[in-house]
Amino acid sequence: MIKEGDTLPIVTWDMYTCDSRNPGGFFGKHAKRSWKKLQSDKMFEKRCIVVGVPGAWTDKCTFQMSSYEGMFDSLYTKDIENIYFLSVNDSYVMQSWFWGHFIIKLGFIADGNGEFTEKIGMLVDKSNMGYSKRSWRYAMVVENNKVEKLLAEKGIDDNVAFDFDPFVDSGVEKMIKYLRSIGRKQGPPDEGRWYYKVPFPEVDTSKFGQEMERDFVKDLAEQDLEYSKWMEENKDAQDFNPETDSIYHKEMEEEDRMKQDDEMESKMLGS
C-alpha cells in the first residue's frame, strides 16, 4: 500500500466526459462530452484531495461524496485546489452519479481498469458481492504527485463480509481536522471560479413568463390530443368490464346457454 511521502504512480485515464467550463454547462444534454486523456501527475500537481470509494451510487459512497461537496469551500480555504472522487467504475457511471446528485465542485476519476488503484495497493476483490475488483475506501492529500497525508480505512482485505465497509478515517471531518492542524490557508474561492457559472440547461430561464406559459399550454394541448387519439383507437378496451367481459364470464355465459338449450330440447321431446 502507498504511504505518506511516496510519489504516486503515473497513469493515463481515458474518460468520456464533458468540459465543465464550456458554455453548454456541466449537466444534461447540452454538455459537450468527448473522450479525454487525463494524466494523473498533471491532475495531482496542485494540492488536492483524492478520495477512493468502492462504488458509485452506493449509499455510503454517495453520502461521503455529498459531504465533501458540501464542505468544498471550507476545504479550499485550507489550501486545497481540487477534490477528486475515484472509483473503479467507467466514466459513464461516474458522470451519471455526479449529475444525479448535482455535484459541481468535485471532480471524478473513472479508474475503470483499476490500474491506478492496483498500483497504490488499494485494489480489493469484492467478487463475493458481485462487484469484482474495487477500490478500498481511503482519502489522501496529494501535492506535486506526492502523498502528503493518507487516511485509509482499516481492515483492507479481499472478499470481506457484506456488512463490513468501514467509514471512520476517510470522512470529511477527519480530513478537515488534519488540514487545520497543518495551518496552510488561502482565500475563499471567488466568483471567478468556474463552478459559480455552471448553467443548468434543462431549465431555460429565458422562457420564464408568458413564453413559458404558452409552451406549457401547447404541451398540454398536444398531450390531450394524443390521449384522445389513443382513447378512440382503443375504444373497445375502454368499454371492457372485467366483471362481465372476461373470457371466463363469456365461457360461463356460453355454458349457461347450452344448458338452457338442452333443457328446452328435453321438454319438447317430452322426456
pLDDT at 3: 97
Say whether pTM exceeds 0.75.
no
pLDDT at 258: 85
Cell numbers for 241, please give them.
Answer: 368490464
pLDDT at 203: 45
Q: Report the alpha-carbon distance of residue 7 to residue 252 in Å, rounded.
A: 82
The residue from 48, 61, 65, 75 that is catalytic is: 61
Q: Report the alpha-carbon distance of residue 239 to residue 16 in Å, rounded.
A: 51
DSSP string, 56-112: TT-HHHHHHHHHHHHTHHHHHTTT--EEEEEESS-HHHHHHHHHHTT--SSEEEE-T
Q: Do 2 and 150 form a contact (C-beta atoms < 8 A)?
A: yes
Which residue in the block uniquely carries the three cell numbers 443548468? 200
pLDDT at 102: 86
For this structure, is 61 an active site residue? yes
Pairing of strands 107-110, 123-125: unpaired
Instruction: Return per-residue pLDDT of the chain as tens, 271 residues.
Output: 999 999 999 999 999 887 655 444 555 555 677 889 999 999 999 999 999 999 999 999 999 999 999 999 999 999 999 999 999 999 999 988 988 888 888 999 999 999 999 999 999 999 999 999 999 999 999 999 999 999 999 999 999 998 899 999 999 999 999 999 999 999 888 766 656 555 544 445 455 445 545 565 676 677 777 767 766 776 665 565 666 666 667 777 788 888 888 888 787 776 5
Number of other CB atoms surrounding residue 143 within 10 Å: 17
Give the residues across from 83 on adjacent strands: 49
Q: Do 48 and 82 form a contact (C-beta atoms < 8 A)?
A: yes
Q: Report the alpha-carbon distance of residue 129 to residue 52 in Å, rounded.
A: 18
Tell me which residue of 119, 98, 104 sits closest to 25, measured CA to CA.
Answer: 104
pLDDT at 150: 98
pLDDT at 255: 82
pLDDT at 239: 60
Cell numbers for 88, please give them.
Answer: 473503479
Q: Do 142 and 148 form a contact (C-beta atoms < 8 A)?
A: yes
Long-range CB contacts (within 8 A, 24+) of 114-117: 114/88, 115/11, 116/9, 116/11, 116/13, 116/40, 116/86, 117/52, 117/86, 117/88
